[in-house]
Amino acid sequence: MFDKLTYIERRKALHNSGLKGVGLILGNIESSMNFPENTFHFRQDSSFLYFFGLDFPGLAGVVDFDSGEDYIFGDDVDIEDIIWMGKQVPLKENAAKAGVKNTAPFNELFKFISKAIKSGRKIHFLPPYRAANKMILEQLLGISSFQVREHASIEFIKAIIPIRSVKDANEINEIEKACATGYEMHVTAMKMAYPDVWEQKIAGTIEGIAVAGGAMPSFPIILTQHGETLHNHSHAEFLKKGNLMLTDAGAESGMHYASDFTRTVPVGGKFTQKQREIYEIVLAANNHGHKLTKPGVSYLSVHFSVAEVITTKLKELGLMKGDVKEAVRNGAHALFMPHGLGHMMGLDVHDMEDLGEINVGYDEEIRPVSQFGTAYLRLGKKLKPGYVITNEPGIYFIPDLIDKWQHEKINTDFINFEKLNEYRNFGGIRLEDDVLVTETGSRILGKRIPIHPDDIESVMQ
Ligand code: GLY
Ligand code: MN
Ligand code: MN
């Protein structure tokens, strides 16, 4: 945990947001895998961690906007628990570490909320993403667990997002720890990427590095020779010479701050000419995105500027044609990069995505674009110092998508389908770095994982 003052200050910012009523932030409970006592690794809710700091199951935090008081509800363990889990720190003592004086058993939360509702006070809560919390909210509020997400407080969401978006020096330090683990994961994967090695063996090895780094991967590892499938979680194949291996993986720090990197390497350690040509385009796109990442710039404009770089260079290779700006306006680049350039990162790898992508990534000024490809851009709004984002351009050759566009004559003025057919088995390349927006520009977090093709080849030797 950080110092208790950190949590006091964070809640103070929430109290100063002008809301009335009660702010309820449910922590997570254990989640069973295959029988009740055999649970998945526990992961606390990120907003609970941010404002109340305690990394244990079965807690709820309340910010009383009317009285100015904060509460943690949860149960102390009994002798049975102590026999199995060892001696536990009492809730009162743990809550004090987050600067919270008021504690009560979890059941008291029902009385507290019921009394607040009877007095006509509004209960602000966040959109639940776990079934258990949907059921608790149903019990607390009398709203069906199937509908409770729709009743989440947009004012509460909008108060929390700006506070969590700007990372302080201690948070950056945590993210850099996660980046250091991510570095080790990726360099290890590169060194293992030789013919006949099972993808699962590499994925499992780097997952172990994430766990040894203090916590766990920040999301399920993507490691595949089918990089054209954007989030391919199958690791079933054996590596083959001539293929590319795409690894999209990151770690959480011990305090659950994320890293998220992607590298793409040639199985066996040597890029072919064809692979290097596409790789160099993605690298130029990544560097261009980083150069444009600065305060005051809208990330939507960075996304489109990167799309222009990709289009210009694919045109030079003969895969695209026509006017570059017009091609990008028509979304032709999305055949090759059908996803957004990046996203916010923090306590969640896609930071605060549970609070709604549109609330986190957009505002009144910059609205989401529904065009194919750009619709998947999770962040569009203007950047501010303290934001941590990922830049992750890619070029993919997705046979089904190519066939669909060719068949339906989509963007035929800008795509050279004949030449494209030579790339049907190419796979995909994505290069992802984590970047801090500073007062004057941006800085790549952690030691940059080898990214230049020569450096990748030399690490792999
Ligand atoms: N880890 C998925 C992503 O890069 O956004
Ligand atoms: Mn990623
Ligand atoms: Mn990412």
Task: Count the neighbouring beta carbons within 10 Å of the beta carbon of residue 66.
Answer: 13
Q: Which amino acid is at 232?
A: N
- Per-residue pLDDT for 85 more than 90? no
CB burial readout 141-174, b (16+ within 10 A) else e = bebebeebbeebbeebbebbbebbbebeeebbeb
User: Cα-flanking dihedrals φ and ψ of residue 125, to 5°?
Assistant: -140, 165
Q: Does the C-beta of 392 come closer than 6 Å to ligand 1?
A: yes
**Residue 218 alpha carbon, nearest atom of ligand 1:** 1
Instruction: Give the Cα separation of 301 and 62 in Å (integer).
Output: 39
**Residue 349 alpha carbon, nearest atom of ligand 1:** 1
Query: How far, in Å, is the centroid of ligand 1 from the Cα of 459?
Result: 24
Beta strands in 134-238 (DSSP E): 222-224
Q: What is the pLDDT of residue 89?
A: 92
Encode pLDDT of 102-111 as tens digits: 999 999 999 9
Query: How far, in Å, is the centroid of ligand 2 from the Cα of 432?
Result: 6
Q: Counting beta carbons within 10 angstroms of the beta carbon of residue 454, is it exposed (0 to 12), middle (13 to 18) or buried (19 or more)?
A: exposed
Q: What is the pLDDT of residue 254?
A: 97
Q: What is the pLDDT of residue 195?
A: 98
Using CA atoms, how far residue 204 sits from 198, 201, 268, in Å, is 10, 5, 19
Q: Does the C-beta of 349 come closer than 6 Å to ligand 1?
A: yes
Q: Does the C-beta of 248 come closer than 6 Å to ligand 1?
A: yes
Task: Count the neighbouring beta carbons within 10 Å of the beta carbon of residue 392.
Answer: 24
Least distant ligand from the CA of 261: 2
Encode pLDDT of 54-68 as tens digits: 999 999 999 999 999
Q: What is the pLDDT of residue 371?
A: 95
Q: What is the pLDDT of residue 78?
A: 87
Query: How far, in Å, is the centroid of ligand 2 from the Cα of 2?
Result: 27
3-state secondary structure of 137: helix
Q: What is the pLDDT of residue 116?
A: 98
**Residue 430 alpha carbon, nearest atom of ligand 1:** 4
Q: What is the pLDDT of residue 300?
A: 98
Mean pLDDT of 39-53: 98
Encode pLDDT of 324-352 as tens digits: 999 999 999 999 999 999 999 999 999 99
Q: What is the pLDDT of residue 81?
A: 87
Ligand 1 pocket test: which of 233, 349, 353, 376 has the largest number of ligand atoms within 8 Å of its C-beta?
349
Q: Does the C-beta of 260 come closer than 6 Å to ligand 1?
A: yes
3-state secondary structure of 64: strand
- Look at the alpha carbons of 395, 398, 402, 408 in this order and tell me if their dihedral is positive or negative: negative
Query: How far, in Å, is the centroid of ligand 2 from the Cα of 266?
Result: 19
Q: Counting beta carbons within 10 angstroms of the beta carbon of residue 51, is it exposed (0 to 12), middle (13 to 18) or buried (19 or more)?
A: buried
Q: Does the C-beta of 219 come closer than 6 Å to ligand 1?
A: yes
Instruction: Give the Cα separation of 212 and 176 in Å (integer).
Output: 16
Mean pLDDT of 174-199: 98
CB burial readout 22-38, b (16+ within 10 A) else e = bbbbbbbbeeeeeeeee
**Cα angle, residue 27 at apex, residues 19 and 346 outer, rounded to 5°:** 80
Query: How far, in Å, is the centroid of ligand 1 from the Cα of 248?
Result: 7
Q: What is the pLDDT of residue 233?
A: 86
Ligand 1 pocket test: which of 219, 221, 345 has the largest number of ligand atoms within 8 Å of its C-beta?
219
Query: How far, in Å, is the centroid of ligand 3 from the Cα of 431?
Result: 10
Q: Does the C-beta of 65 come closer than 6 Å to ligand 1?
A: no
Mean pLDDT of 169-187: 98
Q: Taking all residues of the chain, what is their mean pLDDT, rounded to a whole number? A: 97
| Token representation of residue 460 | 């792999």
Least distant ligand from the CA of 263: 2
Q: How confident is the model at residue 318 (pLDDT cuts 50, 70, 90)?
A: very high
Instruction: Give the Cα separation of 297 and 382 in Å (integer).
Output: 5
Q: Does the C-beta of 261 come closer than 6 Å to ligand 1?
A: no
Instruction: Give the Cα separation of 288 and 307 in Å (integer).
Output: 10
| Token representation of residue 398 | 């997705």
Q: What is the pLDDT of residue 76?
A: 94
Q: What is the pLDDT of residue 63?
A: 98
Ligand 1 pocket test: which of 221, 231, 259 has the largest number of ligand atoms within 8 Å of its C-beta?
231
Helix count (H) and strand count (E) of the chain?
16, 15
List domains and CATH numbers for the chain: 4-165 (3.40.350.10), 169-460 (3.90.230.10)
Query: How far, in Å, is the centroid of ligand 2 from the Cα of 383?
Result: 20
Query: How far, in Å, is the centroid of ligand 1 from the Cα of 220?
Result: 10
